[in-house]
């Protein structure tokens, strides 16, 4: 939902900060890598039950994740390698954070409840995988109720009090499962639609074949 509806306005806000971070010496890869470090620190704070500290660290983790893209654009170093690195680190961060949740639940709520964060992680990975696979096929799979930004916010809400921690985790599972199912259905429908027909050559234009063989203008990616 965040990526689908508000990305342009957020990019307009973060772009000046990204340029400032470049001027003071930050790079996108440094922000991405240090974001994983903060994610590990957040997971530790959750695991030992320091929820208020975890909220602060989670906010710093989100800060790194929010600004690595604008920094890459401002430094004119956006690349496939950087995009790949960012995606891998995002998945690692998700796994580490929910691993901290699992440790906390195992230490304080013995039983099958420890499987809850693993169920959330599974649906989270399905959301990411469906987008990656769809885009590799040339299909659009953006949007949805619970993308990464929303999951980070909801985890922060869960950390506000131990009384709401587990109920909010259950809510996260339901919403991520709905998002994964909705994304699957949307891509399934798009993939079932016939591809647009290629424009046919006009038989009445004597120079149509020469025009089609002419050089085309380059377009920006």
- Domains, the chain, ranges and CATH? 2-191 (1.20.120.1760)
Residue with tokens 């500290």: 53
Is the overall model pTM greater than 0.85, yes or no? no
pLDDT single digits (tens) 95-105: 999 999 999 99
Tell me how long the chain is: 221
CA terminus-to-terminus distance, the chain: 24
pLDDT reading at 178 higher than 90: yes
H/E stretch holding 209? helix 208-213
Indicate the DSSP class of residue 113: G
Q: Is 32 or 1 the better-scoring residue by pLDDT?
A: 32
Indicate the DSSP class of residue 199: P
pLDDT single digits (tens) 115-164: 999 999 999 999 989 988 888 888 887 777 888 888 999 999 999 999 99
Q: So which residues are the catalytic ones?
A: 90
For residue 3, what pLDDT is reported? Answer: 52
Residue with tokens 């299909």: 139
């Amino acid at each position: 939902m965040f990526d689908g509806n508000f990305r342009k306005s957020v990019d307009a806000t973060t772009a000046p900060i990204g340029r400032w971070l470049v001027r003071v010496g930050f790079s996108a890869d440094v922000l991405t890598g240090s974001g994983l470090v903060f994610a590990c620190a957040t997971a530790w704070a959750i695991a030992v039950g320091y929820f208020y500290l975890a909220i602060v660290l989670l906010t710093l983790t989100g800060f790194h994740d929010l600004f690595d893209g604008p920094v890459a654009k401002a430094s004119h170093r956006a690349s496939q390698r950087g995009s790949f690195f960012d995606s891998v680190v995002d998945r690692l961060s998700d796994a580490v954070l929910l691993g901290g949740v699992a440790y906390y639940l195992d230490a304080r709520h013995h039983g099958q409840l420890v499987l809850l964060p693993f169920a959330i992680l599974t649906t989270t990975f399905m959301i990411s995988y469906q987008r990656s696979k769809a885009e590799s096929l040339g299909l659009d799979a953006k949007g949805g109720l619970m993308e990464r930004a929303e999951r980070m916010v909801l985890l922060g809400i869960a950390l506000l009090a131990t009384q709401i921690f587990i109920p909010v985790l259950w809510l996260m599972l339901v919403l991520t499962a709905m998002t994964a199912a909705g994304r699957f259905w949307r891509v399934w429908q798009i993939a079932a639609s016939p591809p647009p027909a290629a424009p046919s050559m006009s038989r009445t234009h004597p120079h149509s074949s020469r025009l089609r063989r002419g050089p085309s203008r380059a377009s920006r990616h």
